[in-house]
Amino acid sequence: MRTHTRGAPTVFFLSLLWPLVAPVAAEVDPSGGIPFMGGNYNGHPMLYFNRGDVEELQYAAAGTHRDMSRRIRDAGETMLERPAMYLPPWSPAEFSARWNEVYGNNLGVLSMFCVLYPHRAGALDLAKDYMERMAAQPSWLVKDAPWDEVPLAHSLVGFATAYDFLYEYLNKGQQERFLQVIGNASRLMYEKSYVRGWGFQYLHNHQPTNCVALLTGSLVYMTQGYLQEAYLWTKQVLSIMEKSMVLLQDVTDGSLYEGVAYGTYTTRSLFQYMFLVQRHFAISHFDHPWLLKHFAFLYRTILPGFQRTVAIADSNYNWFYGPESQLVFLDRYVLRNGSGNWLADLIHQNRVTEGPGQAGKGQRWCTLHTEFIWYDPGLVAKPPSDFGTSQLHHFEDWGVVTYGSALPADTNRTFLSFKSGKLGGRAIFDIVHRSKYKEWIKGWKNFNAGHEHPDQNTFTFAPNGVPFITEALYGPKYTLLNNAVLFSSADSGSCFKPWAGQVTEACDSKWLKYKVGLAADAQGKVEAAMERQGMVFIRGEGHSAYNPELKIRNFQRNLLLLHPQLLLLVDHIHLHPDSPTRAMSAFFHNTDLPFHGTKIDGVHGAFVSHGEDKYKMFWLDDTGYSNRGVVGYWNYPRGYPYNGSNYVNVTMPLRYPHTRVAYIFFGPGVDVQSFSLRGDDQRVDIYLATKDHTYTIYLLTGELPSKPLFAMVLLDHKKVVFEKAAAAAAAGAEDSSPDEVEEYVNVMEDNLQHVKPVFQQMERHILGQVLNTASFHKTAERLLQFSDKKKTEEVIEKMFAMSKKQGKGKGGKKVNLGEKLSESLPDIFAQIEVNEKKVRQRTSKRTYEDSPEEGEGAFMDYADGRKNRKGAFVKGHKFKEVHMVAMAGSEGLSSTASYIRLFLLLNTATFFLLLAMLLTRFQRGRSLHTQRCFYTILLIDCFILLYLYSSCSHTQC
């Protein structure tokens, strides 16, 4: 017995220790490690970090963050060298003459430069001059777009961030004037949130941009004691954005329907929102299902070479904002595996500094300060496990397939993309058409697909990483400015008679048609996307994107990547018997390189030259006919960021019941020697011979094919089969829309309940700071500025009298007089909510009468819903009580939490001391009775430790 027991202590006590360790290992921190401030602020800075964190940030700038700090320093030095180029103009006419987001965008990085390098001569003076010039403007709106608050939002978020970062360096006059500017701009944003589309058009880039600006302004205003207005502004922001976060759960693939470029515009602010609401209101979104998959949206859309991305929808060559900041955010708060840091570093290393693809001057520095703040150097940069090999990825919600993304640019490193999906993406389209989320959504008016293109069944191809067939970037919303097809038509409503494009194209607007009529129902579908033995097959169906009067039964586009430098595209058009359509016209684009016509053995084609290499394409139909293509350059009208696009246009006749047209695209490493095709009702056979290989492709196009195959390829003596069974499960997943989020209204309302306790804590904190000071009256008036005037004066006098009383209780115990004064106040937030509700009901009615489309649904009911501070019920859902716990080291840290932490530390030390003694001194030569006593003591101590750990976890001590 004695021998048996001596061998047990280590294992025995490890098993006792496991309950202490297991919860830590198993529990994922929902806060992402961001400390909750709990309404306990010690002045500025407070938005992203505290005053006590500044020295640590400066230390990091010289060490772990030196690469990022160098970019911040370079930006600051550039502005210091040429201030006339970067300072905002004093003249209001000049300031508002053009789109001016650059001023707010650059101010954020300039203020961070001053935080990290406060002793740099001239830096603070430049920043203060910058802010003075912005504060001198009567308006931050653009003269020619007074209805658009986006420029104002950029200015507000930059100005409020700089005010927070540089507060201690501003004189008293500047502090007061600049705060007034922030208040005025935030007040305007708040008012416009009820009448502008960004207040109720969800998942659109304007919404997080404007909401985060208003949130930033309200947090600064709150810190300065203007609690009532800041409370309304904050509640309005959260009422909008928390709905978006609920709706975003329906997007199952991590994508954003506006594309990669505008997607980074959205996430620039969306990620700031997630950080700020966690830090200031303990609202966590870091386990959001969309966020968990968003890395793929950035990783799977980059062309080889890490300089360009898929340019679907309105786009530049890559990203509008970041994406380094977004990637380090994902890594630190979501992924925790180093992949985000790795990709951010690779993108930065390969940044284009001159020519197409370079970052815009108005955006290039905007996210440097958040990248610095969010970067976690403890996450060692590490590529995803599949890096280095070409991967096929299907974004089922977006309707986009990519192959060969995020690879080094090299021979046979090929990128291929295809788009065929629902307007706005599957989530939005199904929300609209299936009437989901009826409490919030009233059809297309609650979304904005204006930045999308008429681009169903379009593709891009970059063999060897060289963009051969590209998107046409940010331009007019014409079908012919995408790699898409038009059909001959007698429709008088088409933009380019006698040709009819997709029903969403807009003839006289910069924005896509999507709200009403045929456009509202437009969609395409990816029917298959698979890889077999190094070959890729993709099929899309696009007839639903065209006018039904064309009587097109099927418009099937098939892509077969036979070799990294050889792509076969086959269009299959099946007409109804009474179809008036007699011809098709396909367009192919290259934004950089002009096309040149060519012809070999009666087969027409075109090519582009990239250095010494030529990238070629040829085409013919299933009768052997090949029409000469038209090459040219399409000039964009004024007002677009790009001049136009090079194109080749191929027009071919159509026959009833079906026509097949085949196109081959190949790089310099492939020499095509022969190309032909023939077909019947069920399939088309294509024969391709290159210098090295012979390809025979059997493509089954019939609605009821004789074999369960999409296609079969015979490569020399090898057979590659693309079977339908493999695509069936994927197609089912694409067709199935996720269920509506359960109790979605209560999910949003639950998060809104986090706001009021923070403001009530701020109220107590502010009153506690001004007791028995000359500023007491002024502070109390500021707190009650929107309450009843007569009652306000009575309350202030009562409070002032209380503040003069002895601040001691029985036995010399101190009384928290600030909290007592707060309790004597009327509920200042409930009062203003009631008043605001009445005002908004009147204005909402007027707005609806003036503009029914925008007025309805814009009003957020301000009823707090909480009967008391212990919890309440809204539509049968009990809210979780929000525990007001300040971060460690703040003024509001409770004595209870301090004692628990102290006892936990002492007891942990005692436990390990006793354990060490048992394992070293008492294991030999001691009686079994003595050892058992020690085991009993340690076991009791274990239970005490568990209790203390639980208490500490509960109070976040």
Residues designated as active site: 206, 262, 474
| Cα gap 325→268, rounded to integer Å | 8
Question: In b/e form, how buried is each residue of 620-646, taking b as 16+ CB within 10 angstroms?
Answer: bbbeeebeebebeebebeeeeeeebbb
| Cα gap 865→219, rounded to integer Å | 23
| Cα gap 808→718, rounded to integer Å | 92
For residue 426 the two structure tokens come to 């599957």
| Cα gap 570→55, rounded to integer Å | 62
Q: Could you tell me the CA-to-CA distances from 940 to 217, 903, 908 in Å, in that order? A: 52, 15, 12
Q: What is the DSSP string of 533-561?
A: TTEEEEEEE-GGGS-GGG-EEEEEEEEEE
- Partner residues linked to 808 by β-bridges: 814
Residue 296 near residue 467, CB atoms below 8 Å: no
For residue 820 the two structure tokens come to 């007592």
50 contact partners, CB below 8 Å, separation of at least 6: 42
Residue 685 near residue 662, CB atoms below 8 Å: no
- Helix axis angle, 259-281 relative to 227-247, nearest 10°? 130
For residue 62 the two structure tokens come to 């010289």
Residue 772 near residue 806, CB atoms below 8 Å: no
Residue with token string 């490493």: 669
Task: Put residue 500 in one of left, alpha, beta given phi > 0 → left and psi -120 to 50 → alpha.
Answer: beta
Question: In b/e form, how buried is each residue of 440-476, taking b as 16+ CB within 10 angstroms?
Answer: bbeebbbbbbbbbbbbbbbbbbbbbbbbbbbbbbbbb
Stated as kind and residue range, the H or E segment containing 694 is strand 694-700
C-alpha angle 585-591-593 in degrees, rounded to nearest 5: 100
Residue with token string 């103009």: 89
Three-state secondary structure call for residue 661: strand
For residue 442 the two structure tokens come to 């009233």
For residue 173 the two structure tokens come to 């006059």
For residue 107 the two structure tokens come to 């101010």
Q: What is the DSSP string of 484-533?
A: -EEEE---TT-SBTTEE--TT--SS-SS---SSGGGGG-B-EEEEEEEET
Check the CA dihedral 364-366-371-372 and report its sign: positive
| Cα gap 817→807, rounded to integer Å | 7
Residue 473's nearest CA partner among 306, 640, 674 is: 640
- Burial label, 569 (beta-carbon count in 10 A; 0-12, 13-18, 19+): buried
Phi then psi for residue 43, to 5 deg, are 80, -160
Q: What is the DSSP letter of 443?
A: G
Q: What is the DSSP string of 815-867?
A: P-HHHHHHHHS--HHHHHHHHHHHHHHHHHHHHHHH-HHHHTT-PPP-----S
752 contact partners, CB below 8 Å, separation of at least 6: 235, 238, 239, 242
Three-state secondary structure call for residue 596: strand
| Cα gap 619→625, rounded to integer Å | 9
Residue 528 near residue 538, CB atoms below 8 Å: yes
| Cα gap 286→289, rounded to integer Å | 9
